[in-house]
Every structure is written in structure tokens, then in C-alpha cells.
Amino acid sequence: MFVVPLEVLGPCGVSPEFAAQVTAAGLIRESVLNCLGRAFAAFWERSIALHEADPAHWFPPRAQHICFIRKGAEVRPYFQPIYNSSWLLYEVDVDPDTSSLELATYLFFHAERMSWRREVLAAYEETLPYWLLRTEEEIADFHQGCFLSTRPDAAAFRALAEALPWIRSLYHVRLRPPALTFPSGLVTLGRSGLLAPRQDLREWEKLKTTWQQSAERVVERHYGLYAKRTRRSANLLCRWLSERKPEVLIVGQGLDVVWEPARPRETTKLKRSLPDLSPEVAESIRADLEVIDAHSRRFLRAVCAPLPQQWPNIEPGGLCFLWRERPIIAYRLQEPGMDRLRLPAPPYERLMLGARTMHEWGHLAATAGWVGVTAERTDEWRRTCERLEELCTRVVRDAPPSLRASLGNELDRLAKEGSVARALASIVHARMEDYRANVVAREFLSRLELETYVRNNVTCLQQSMRPTAIFQRLVRYAYEFQYLGLIGLDDPWRYLCASTWFDREYWVSGAVARSLTEELFACVADLCAMQWIDPRKLACARHTDQCPQATTAHGQASSQARNPCGS
């Protein structure tokens, strides 16, 4: 997999600087990059037209990280490598030999809707009105691209191409209102918003079934790649654990500890928890444990004070977590939604695993008081907190009266916490320990791990917060914006606005003045900048090496020659 980062994308396609860099390095063929740039520019232009025609249904244009699966690669389908801010496509989608400009353009709309809905059928249905506005030449080009395509679900796109003459005969309330009254009436087709005569329902159901079955076949095929499982792979993993003794707790069903480094040869419970494994899956688990071990040992070597007797109250779950009873990182074999026992880790997950490991240790350091505000800066901290509340007061006070009136219930809810400004400021304070954990993690992570972590955590909050939480969302953005400073991004404002519609939501709408927004963000930046690691407790040396387990594009261990879990 290779990633085209969102900051190099815009209305004209791919930035010339990025294009020159990757073509000179031989990372992407010029013809592929040219198709990508033209398709993205068309996506941007058409997104504007669709949003203006039907703003309730179509998103304004934005950029996300484009994650391209390399030609011939086998990668988990229908997932987001960079959570909530990436589109998953295939290199063949922008290769003129296996695609076309119109197929590539439409796939950006499909990927955007997939990232929002996280459901193949919903993405397919909700983008169907797009075809009502296309020309015959564009339709012909799309048709040609679909029949050249070699992506895993190409059959579904071919079925769509064949059905376009029928789809383009349908109606839509905003894009093509019906001029005539139909005797049998018109029915709405699923989530598409398209209107069709009742007798066309069979055609609709047939096409929808084709898409559903195609997606199921793609997923089943991928699982089938790792269907050949043996007891030997699980036994070799257990042997590796007993010999290597990684600094990690392995958890089975629920929160049952099935292996720990203090008793490395006691693998009976672990063997009972492990089904037969494919060699690739066993190797993936081993590589995960190796990453946690390397990061944990690096952190513990840096500790210069007794470990605390109390640990932060961290919910078990995610890629890994700090164990509730003692300072060790736990790895759950049956983590919901991860399929660790059936599939190898997808791209970028192991980089996030390393980042999460250090983030958890950072929480321990923050709880122990090893990172925070020095006594000399206490008064500065207090004054800055007061300024934050003042800015939150101004944000609400200066908002348009119509906006404040429409958010009456939301403001009443905030006022119950003492004052609206205090409730908004508390959003930053509640997350400050998270930032302290990141200050620690930054000192131990590789650049690649840190970038992966940051890009997973600065996302469009409209997807996760209720629509009326406009002021809360603004303050959350002010906090999460500081993550971009951890990787020294050249233009963090452009990154935020290009990927989240922040400027449309706040500046274009008139909800908040840009100057006031910048003051608010700068104030939160001042609070974050005061966080300091006590070198007497934690001896940090900025880690700039490659991450402990070098990875290939598939997220697997790069050295298969030393794979102790393979066949």
C-alpha cells in the first residue's frame, strides 16, 4: 500500500511538488499519477456542483488520505487504514491500463461515502443520483473503465455500468423532478433518493442483490486466503513466547490472562485459547507482541523513579491497553472487530500498535506526575486557563443571534456545569492528560509511528458528534489541532480545513470569526506547550530510528526468513 497524503491534494488535483518528488523517486508511474490528479480534480469540481444542487445529500469537496493497495497485493477489503480520514482504493483504479478517468472519478465519490457510512451497499445506493448529471461521453468512459477493471469487486461496477441506461431514466426530487404524473405512482429506491415507477422495483432489487453478493464474495475470498490453519503454527508461537519472554500480557476471552512473561513456560491456558492458526496469522500475532515488547522495554529503561502504585483508569480494549493491576501492557487475542485469530494485521495497524503502546505508558507517566506543568509556571497556567474561559465566552457571545437561538437546548445543557464558558473550557482540561501521554510517547516513537498516530486522531468531528454540538466541536478541534504540532506539519490550518470542512462550518457560515478562532487555538497551544517531562523521573531521548519491527506494505514482518511461526 502507498498513501497520497491529504495535504498534497486540492482543487487542481495533486500538488506539482509532490508529483515531481514521487515520480523522480520512481514510487508512482507518471501515467498513474496523471490519472489520479485529473480524477481528483474532477471529483472536487463535481462535488461542488452536487452540493450546491442538493446540499442535504451531497458533501462539499474535501481531501482525505488516499490509501492505494498496490497492484497484485492482498489486503483486507473495506477498511480504513487511517481511521476516519482515509479512502481505500486500488492502484489499478488510477492506472489507464485497468481503469478510466470516469471510473477513477466516481470511485472517489464511492470511497468518500464508504468512509462516512462504513457500509458497501449504503455507499453504492447513496451515490446513484450522481449518474443523472453525467454526459453520454462520461458514461461511455465509465463503462469502458469498468470492463478494464481488475479490482476485487469489479463485477459489481460492471453491473452498475450495464444498468446506467435504466438508472438515468429515473427521477430525483432535487436533481431531476418528474414532469409527469405516473398512474401507479413513483417509489423511492432505498437510500438513493431516486424515484422510479413501481414496476421497476424488480430491476432495483436485482442490482442491489448483485452489489451485496459481490461485497460478500470479496470478503469471503480474503478470509479464504488464510483458511489453511494448523496446530503447528499455534505451537510455534507458544514456543517463541517461552523463549523470547516478551514484556506483554496476553489476554484471552473476556479479561482472562492466558500468558505472562513472569511464567513464560506456562503456555497451557494460551494453547487452549488459540485455535489452529494460519502461518501468516501466527506470524502477525508474533510481530504485534514484538512491537509491544520493544516499546515497553524502551520505556521501562528510561524510568528513573519507582513505578507508581496506582494506575490510570483505562478501559480495556483497542489495539492494546495498560493492565488494571500492574504496570504492563495487555494484548487481547479476541479484540472485537480485529479478527486477530483469523487475519493478519492490515497496513498501518502495527504502526498504530506501537503508538498506542507508548501512549498507554505515557498515561502511566502522567498519572505518576512525571509530566505536567512546573511549579515556576503555575501562575502562567492559571492565567492561560482564565484566558481560555474568556475566549469561550466570546465565542458564544459573538455568535450570530440566530445560531444561539437554534442552540438553546445545547447551551442550557452546558450552563448546568456552572457556565457555558466553563463547560467548554473543561473539554480541553479533560483531555490534557491525553496530551501529556502524547508528550511522553513522542520521545519514544519513530517518525512513521508518530505520523500514523496523529493522522488517525485529527479527523472530521461531524462524523462523531451530534450536529448541534457546534461550540463543543470547535473546542475539541482546538485541542486536536495541537496534535499536528507533534509532527511539525508545514501548514496545519490547511490540513484541518481541507480534511474536515472546518472553514465551511465556522468561517464561511459566520458562526465564529477567523481571528477569534485563531486566538482560541493559540490559547490551547499555550496550555499544551507548558507540559514538561521531569528528567529526574523519566530520561527521554528523542527516538528517531526505524520502528522496532520494520514493516512492508502488508503490515507483516519484513523478514520472513526468521519467521518462527510459518510453515
CA triple 98-103-109, angle to 5 deg: 135
Model pLDDT, residue 562: 39
**Residue 237 contacts residue 282 (beta carbons within 8 Å):** yes
Q: Report the candidate in 253, 219, 434, 240 with the shortest Cα–Cα distance to residue 334.
A: 253
Task: State if pTM tops 0.95.
Answer: no
What pLDDT does residue 550 have? Answer: 35
- Which residues in the chain come in under a pLDDT of 50? 543-564, 566-567
* One-letter identity of residue 339: D
Which pLDDT score is estimated for 312? Answer: 73
- What DSSP element (H or E) covers 449? helix 447-457
Question: What does DSSP say about strands 186-188 and 371-372: parallel, antiparallel, or unpaired?
Answer: unpaired
DSSP assignments along 355-410, one per residue:
HHHHHHHHHHHHHTTSEE--GGGHHHHHHHHHHHHHHHHHHHHTS-HHHHHHTHHH
Contacts of 65 (CB under 8 A, 6+ apart): 3, 4, 5, 6, 81, 82, 85, 86, 87, 455
89/78 Cα distance (integer angstroms): 9
pLDDT value, residue 417: 86
C-alpha cell at 109: 465519490
For the stretch 356-383, pLDDT in tens is 999 999 999 999 999 999 999 999 999 9
What pLDDT score does 556 carry?
A: 37
Cα R_g (the chain), whole angstroms: 26
pLDDT, position 541: 59
- Digit-coded pLDDT (tens) for 21-48: 999 998 899 999 999 999 999 999 999 9
Beta strands in 122-264 (DSSP E): 171-172, 186-188, 194-197, 249-251, 257-259
Residue 374 pLDDT: 95
359: left (phi over 0), alpha (psi -120 to 50) or beta: alpha
H-run or E-run covering 90: strand 86-90
Q: Which own/partner contact pairs does 209-217 have at CB distance under 8 Å and 24+ positions apart?
A: 210/155, 210/156, 210/159, 211/120, 211/121, 211/124, 211/156, 211/159, 211/160, 212/120, 212/121, 214/153, 214/155, 214/156, 214/159, 215/78, 215/120, 215/121, 215/153, 215/156, 217/153
337 burial via Cβ count (<10 Å: 0-12, 13-18, 19+): exposed
DSSP 401-440: HHHHHHTHHHHHHHHTTS-HHHHHHHHHHHHHHHHHHHHH
* Cα–Cα separations (whole angstroms), residue 461 to 109, 302, 318, 334, 488: 20, 36, 20, 29, 22
CA distances in angstroms from 250 to 131, 254, 257, 348, 363, listed in the order given: 51, 11, 6, 21, 20
